[in-house]
Amino acid sequence: MSRPARHRGTALYAISATCATIGALLWVRGRTSAPPRVYADYLAADSYTPSAWRVWSPAVPEDRLGLYLVAVGLVLAVAARLLSVRRG
């Protein structure tokens, strides 16, 4: 009977890790104002600016969204741990 609990815990850990990783990447992207030098020429050639492509609403900066996702990832990891301890 503990098999479904393990699957739930594994799924929660995977979602948690994904949220935290995407959040960390968005936080880093929001903190750096210029695009990487390697891609700067390609962005200029395609007439894109770093601010033209937004992940989220302009009301929420990307670094704040990244922190929110990291926090959600941590909460999900704690919930998965509590679920595994409670079921185990």
Please give the pLDDT value at position 17: 94
Nearest partner of 50 among 29, 65, 66, 68, judged by Cα: 29
| CB-count burial class (<10 Å; 0-12, 13-18, 19+) for 44 | exposed
| pLDDT tens string 26-75 | 888 888 755 555 555 555 555 545 555 666 677 888 888 899 999 999 99
Q: Which two tokens stand for residue 22?
A: 């995407």
Most confidently modeled range among 9-13, 15-19, 62-66: 15-19
Please give the pLDDT value at position 50: 54
